[in-house]
Amino acid sequence: MDTGNIFLKLLTRKGRSRIFKYPFLKPELAYGDALDKYLGELERTHIYTNYGPLNQRFQQRLLSEHFQDTGHCVTVNNATSGLIAAISMLRRQRRKFALMPSFTFAATPLAAMWAGLEPFFVDVNPDTWNMCHQSLEDAIAILGDDVAVIVPYSAMGNPIDVDYYEQHIANGLPVVVDAASSFGTRQNGKQFGHGFTGTVVYSFHATKTFGIGEGGLVYSSNEDTIAQIKRFGNFGFNDQRLSQFMGMNTKLSEFHAAVGLATLDTFEQTILKRRETLAQYRSAMDHHHMLERQWCVPKSSAELCYQFIPMCAPPGVDNIAITQKMAQNSIEIKNYFSPSCHQLPTFEEFGRVPLPHTEQLSRRVISLPVWSNMPRQVVDEIMETLNNA
């Protein structure tokens, strides 16, 4: 069954399903001849996991084609386990807190908790929607030597200022970047994260721009860092298969590596199509004079590869009401991240500095649909409906 042709559903208040004319996402994974040439190798090798030959080739191509053979990487079965592995291996021992924005997906604080740490929430920059540097410095001043790790989030694929975080690494504070939506985003012509001495974790979930079903990648310019994370993800084994420390299984299967290789074959075209869709959305915003009326998008100088289009409604406009109005017009939009993490039951007890920008964003943020080969007339109809709503 072709998942790319299945409309995603939204439960209504009456409990029935709504099929949208324009769904939020239509994931399309590699299949057919594009995939079969890699799956055929499984039949020949009978190797299905444990960093097999397809996975090794997948890692090498990722490093070569997207990081110019600079640094080191290891695949993981999903980005959440990649975050757990990286935080567990890099955290400062006998410290308590993982500093992170509240404006992120639940996986970020959950990963810190699974690594034995307590999330501590920091505000965001209202322009970039990434973690606010001054708010982070305030948190560090409050917590002092109890900070175990800093976990920035690259909001919706918008890259963070890695040079700023390099300073914290130099001062002994490890940094693990949650870059779940950032694979395909480029800064200065290079993949975001390229050359970073900290650790960057990317998601390859089916809904991401680079989607393989489930999977992810952990990258660092530091070879020892990636070696430690790989050992963690293989039960803490050393070369003699003796478990040296508490690890877990984060290995990517050969099936997913095959999908990854097939996806890499056409990923440059996917990036171009996504950026064309982003340009069409910006053109439609200009046509409707939306930016002049205080609609906004996160500022960035990077070449973005959005999973979806994030926007912020004008002050005083209820994002939930907009979502419901769009649904009445058979257009599915979402509200990432509304509520933000500190407003969710799992995390509301954890510490934080003041979060005025986060709370304002969470009341106004909306996320607009993006799919492959999205026609311009669909973008125009979505934006006209949103403008009227």
pLDDT given at position 27: 92
128: confidence class by pLDDT, cuts 50, 70, 90 = very high
CB distance 372 to 2 below 8 Å: no
CB distance 160 to 154 below 8 Å: yes
Quick: pLDDT tens for 54-112: 999 999 999 999 999 999 999 999 999 999 999 999 999 999 999 999 999 999 999 99
CB distance 61 to 114 below 8 Å: no
- Domains (range + CATH), the chain: 3-27+267-388 (3.40.640.10), 33-265 (3.40.640.10)
- Report whether pLDDT(227) > 70: yes
**SS3 label, residue 172:** coil
For 231, list phi and psi in degrees, rounded to 5. -65, -40
CB distance 190 to 342 below 8 Å: no
What letter represents residue 248's amino acid?
M
Nearest-angstrom CA–CA distance, 232 and 84: 10
Nearest-angstrom CA–CA distance, 290 and 313: 9
For 223, list phi and psi in degrees, rounded to 5. -65, -40
Nearest-angstrom CA–CA distance, 30 and 259: 6
Nearest-angstrom CA–CA distance, 354 and 138: 10
Put simply, whether the predicted model's pTM sits higher than 0.85 gets the answer: yes
| Average pLDDT in the chain | 93
Quick: pLDDT tens for 241-256: 999 999 999 999 999 9
pLDDT above 70 covers what percent of the chain? 95
Concatenated DSSP letters of 229-249? HHHHTBTTB-TTS-B-S---B
H or E segment at 4? Answer: none
- Report whether pLDDT(136) > 60: yes
2: confidence class by pLDDT, cuts 50, 70, 90 = very low
